[in-house]
Amino acid sequence: MIAVISDIHGNLEALEAVLEDARRERADGVICLGDVVGYGADPNACMDKVWERAQAKVLGNHDAAARDLREAENFNEVAREAIRWTSETLNAVNVERLGDLQYEHVEDATRFVHASPDDPPAWHYILTEQEAWNAFEACPENVCFVGHSHVPLRVVLRDGRLLVLTDEILTVRDEDRALINVGSVGQPRDGDWRASYALWDPARRRAIARRVEYDLEQASRKILEAGLPEILARRLAIGQ
C-alpha cells in the first residue's frame, strides 16, 4: 500500500503528521504529486523529507515557479510573493532537485500527475464534467491520481457515465476508470483544515481518503515569523 500525497506547500507540520499516519496505516511507499513548496515556511525541510521518503515525485506548478520565476506570471499577488520568498530561501541542493522533476509518473498501470493529464505543462484543473472527460481521454491508464485543486475528489467512469463518489473507501472495479484527487497536505481548500492525502492499495485497487490533524498553530506562526503574507497563515485554520 502506498501513500499518495500532494500540495504540501512548505507545511512541515502537516507533512510530518501525514507521513506518521501513513506509517501507522502500514503504507510501505510514498508517491508525491508535486507542489512541495510555495506558501509555507519550510520549503527546504519539506523537500528533504519528501526526497527521503518518496519513491517517486512529479513537478507541480509552484515547484516549477520556484525554479524559474517566469512560471509565476499567472499567479495571484500573494502566491507570487510567496514563491519569490521560496526561491530565495531554497538551498542549492533543492533547486537542483526541482530541476530533475518530470510532469508525470506511471507505475503499476496507474498514472500520477500534478494537474490534469490533459497537457500537464498547461496545469489544467479538473473541476467540471468536461474537464474530467478531457482527463480520462488523455490518460491511457485506468487509474489516475492528481492534486492541484487542493480539494479531494473521486470521479469514476462506469458504464459510460461519470460518477462522483464520496465514500471514504473507493474500490476501483476492473471495468472502471478512476480519477482520484488526493487533496492537499499543507493547504486544504475544502473547508476542512486537516491535512488530506490518500492511501492506494494497487493489489486490491482500493483508495482510502485520509484526513489528519497537525500542529496548525506552529505552522501558522512560522508563516508569520518568516514575513510571508498574513493571509497564508489565516487561511490554514479555515481550510481555504
- Comparing CB distances to Zn ion, the nearer of 59 and 178 is 59
Comparison of 183 and 205: residue with beta carbon closer to Zn ion:
183
Question: Can residue 7 be called a binding residue for Zn ion (CB under 5 A)?
Answer: yes
Least Å distance, CB 186 to Zn ion, is: 8
Residue 42 found at the interface with Zn ion (CB under 5 A): no
Q: Which stretch binds Zn ion (CB under 5 A): 31-39, 65-73, 129-137, 138-146?
A: 31-39
Pick the closer one to Zn ion by CB: 206 or 211.
Answer: 211
* Binding of residue 35 to Zn ion (CB under 5 A): yes
C-alpha cell at 120: 500537464
Residue 63 binds Zn ion (CB under 5 A):
no
Q: How far is the CB of 49 from Zn ion (least distance, A)?
A: 17
* Part in contact with Zn ion (CB under 5 A); list of ranges 32-40, 126-134, 161-169, 228-236: 32-40
CB of 163 to Zn ion, least distance (A): 26
Which region among 12-20, 23-31, 33-41, 81-89 touches Zn ion (by CB under 5 A)?
33-41
Checking DSSP bridges between strand 29-32 and strand 56-57, what pairing results, if any?
Answer: parallel
Closer to Zn ion by CB, 32 or 207: give it.
32
Neighbouring residues of 236: CB distance < 8 A, sequence distance ≥ 6: 11, 187, 193, 216, 219, 220, 223
Judge contact between 50 and 57, C-beta under 8 A: yes
Q: How many residues bind Zn ion (CB under 5 A)?
A: 2
**How far, rounded to the nearest angstrom, does the alpha carbon of residue 239 sit from its chain's CA centroid?**
15
At 47, the amino acid letter reads M
For the CB of residue 170, give the shortest distance to Zn ion in the complex, in Å. Answer: 22
Q: Are 225 and 217 in contact (CB under 8 A)?
A: no
Identity of the residue, 158 or 189, whose beta carbon is nearer to Zn ion in the bound complex: 189
Residues that bind Zn ion (CB under 5 A): 7, 35
